[in-house]
Amino acid sequence: MATAPKIDVGTDYKEKYGFFVPEEYIFKAKRGLNPEIVKEISWMKQEPEWMTKMRLRSLEIFRKKPMPTWGADLSVIDFENIFYYLKASDKQSKTWEELPPDIKATYDRLGVPEAERKFLAGVSAQYESEVVYHSLQEELTKKGVIFTDTDSALRDHPDLFKEYFGTVIPPADNKFSALNTAVWSGGSFIYVPKGVRVDIPLQAYFRINAENMGQFERTLIICDEGSFVHYIEGCTAPIYTTDSLHSAVVEIIVKKDARCRYTTIQNWSTNVFNLVTKRAVAYADATMEWVDGNLGSQITMKYPSVYLMEPGAKGDVLSVAFAGKGQHQDAGGKMIHVAPNTTSTITSKSISKGGGRTSYRGHIKMYPGANNSKSFVKCDALLLDDESRSDTYPYNDVDAENVTLGHEATVSKVSDEQLFYLMSRGITRNEAETMIVNGFIEPFTKELPLEYAVELNRLIQLEMEGSVG
């Protein structure tokens, strides 16, 4: 007899029921995607109505949009077999013992501290960096900088949030941005006021909350006029997750004379589909720099882009992709020149090994009126054996006048001459190959904070030994 009464958690919930006790609500994680789940997510987070509606609208868009027919093969993703929202307590149910041995071994080899590796492996939802975090927060608050998780930002800074959320990447941009907007959770929110420079890089790591490591994280960064911030997402140590789909959205607004650098080191375990939309808009004389490293995942599709909206805006993408056995890294960048005198560079370095596949996919668009603009694209691919593969797909659309557009692409193998030279000095073949690969990505590594650079080099070393993934 007893069918549980269906609770409408949609609009006017508070008005109808007049109370709100999320503590007593037992959220059962369910697989699959439908409006009920989306409403539940929004309700769990006590979101304002506009967000609930936006999520539902995005779900509709997601359903209508076809899967991309280009890039990597995504046909194996089963959207009905995914948990779209898990509470932190559900995420922690794994134990250290359940982790795959290769992930544990990598943590050992990298010398990742105990507390940190539990966090990375999803065993603990908290990374014990509260002390660092609190002193940093005080410092930031003094300057008027907001650095928080995106859920809290919606709650605590509703006006600022609403003004910018979804303006750079609207839900209808692509299938996965629609999906993200429907089910997003976690991510970082940063606001840097006019003229404020944040001297130390802000890292997602510092935040107490593990939400930033979620599947559908959503990041929003606003650099007000003349400000500067460097944000670092992810880390070099492999992040283990049983979730098979990671689909994040990152939106950045860089106002006049401001500069933003966004550094990513993605090292998801190799069961993950990593489909991320990252876009920034840069206004007059502003600079946006994407530093993007992709090592992990089974498939990555990611093309950080910059819309150069006003004269003097500058966009840079510097990316590295490493594809080992069974991996496909389809990455690149997009530069959209809207205003005159705008400049952009894309530097892409890729390494394929053991049958891995890398693709560079880039788009340079110069709209009418984007006169006197310059763009330079350089992609270098290094193949470590004959079974590996690398492709380049550059798309250029130029409707502006008096522009400079350069494209340079190289594909090379580790040369016998270089190997012989290093080996003739007593260096083993494996170490020599590792050195050559690390040398190849050095233009990327040197842009990283030292501790990241060191870890990345060690990680490449492990990859080269074939002991990882």
Contact between 420 and another protein (CB under 8 A)?
Answer: yes
Question: Of 379, 354, 305, whose CA–CA distance to 469 is shortest?
Answer: 354
* From 16, 30, 413, 429, residue interacting with another protein (rule: CB under 8 A): 429
**Closer residue to another protein (CB): 25 or 420:** 420
Question: Alpha-carbon distance 41 to 227, whole Å?
Answer: 34
In the complex with another protein, the residue whose CB is nearer, 300 or 434, is: 434
Name the residue nearer to another protein (CB basis): 225 or 431.
Answer: 431
Stretch of 58-66, 210-218, 273-281, 410-418 lying at the interface with another protein (CB under 8 A): 410-418
Core vs surface per residue 227-263: b (16+ CB within 10 A) or e: bbbbbbbbbbbbbbbebbbbbbbbbbbbbbbbbbbbb
By C-alpha distance, which of 336, 358, 335 is closest to 345? 335
Q: How far is the CB of 414 from another protein (least distance, A)?
A: 10
Binding mask 206-225 for another protein (x = CB under 8 A): --------------------
CA dihedral of residues 420, 423, 424, 427 (deg, nearest 10): 170
Indicate whether 416 belongs to the interface with another protein (CB under 8 A): yes
- Site membership for another protein, residue 424 (CB under 8 A): yes
Query: Given the complex with another protein, which of 64 and 429 has the nearer CB atom?
Result: 429
Alpha-carbon distance of 37 to 31, in angstroms, equals 9
Q: Smallest gap, in angstroms, from Cβ of residue 111 to another protein?
A: 12
Q: Which of 421, 454, 466, 467 is in the footprint of another protein by CB under 8 A? A: 421
386 interacts with another protein by CB under 8 A: no
**291 lies in the site for another protein, by CB under 8 A:** no
Q: Is residue 428 a contact residue for another protein (CB under 8 A)?
A: yes
* Interface with another protein (CB under 8 A), residue from 432, 459, 460, 462: 432
Region from 12-20, 226-234, 368-376, 430-438 binding another protein, contact rule CB under 8 A = 430-438
Q: For residue 197, list its beta bridge partners.
A: 228
Cβ proximity to another protein: between 222 and 382 the closer is 382
State CA 240 to chain mean position distance: 16
Count of C-beta atoms within a 10 Å radius of residue 462: 18
Q: Choose between 59 and 382: whose C-beta lies nearer to another protein.
A: 382
Tell the smallest beta-carbon distance from residue 460 to another protein (Å).
11
- Tokens linked to 324: 């080992």
- By CB under 8 A, name the one of 102, 225, 431, 447 that touches another protein: 431
Amino acid identity, position 332: G
Closest to another protein by CB, 11 or 428 = 428
Q: Which of residues 434-453 bind another protein (CB under 8 A)?
A: 435-436, 438-443
Counting every residue, how long is the chain?
469
Nearest C-alpha neighbor of 317 from the set 450, 447, 177, 457: 447
Closest CA to 453 of 311, 274, 293: 293
Q: Which residues contact 382 (CB under 8 A, 6 or more apart)?
A: 349, 350, 351, 352, 411, 412, 413, 414, 437, 440
Q: Which of 6, 28, 142, 425 binds another protein (CB under 8 A)?
A: 425
Give residues with Cβ within 8 angstroms of 21, minimum separation 6: none
With respect to another protein, which residue has the nearer C-beta, 50 or 420?
Answer: 420
Q: Which structure tokens are listed for 214?
A: 């979620």
Shortest gap between Cβ of 437 and another protein (angstroms)?
Answer: 9
Count of residues near another protein by CB under 8 A: 24
- Asked if residues 116 and 106 have their Cβ atoms less than 8 Å apart, the reply is no
Using CB under 8 A as the binding rule, whether residue 422 contacts another protein is answered as yes
Sites of contact with another protein (CB under 8 A):
415-418, 420-429, 431-432, 435-436, 438-443
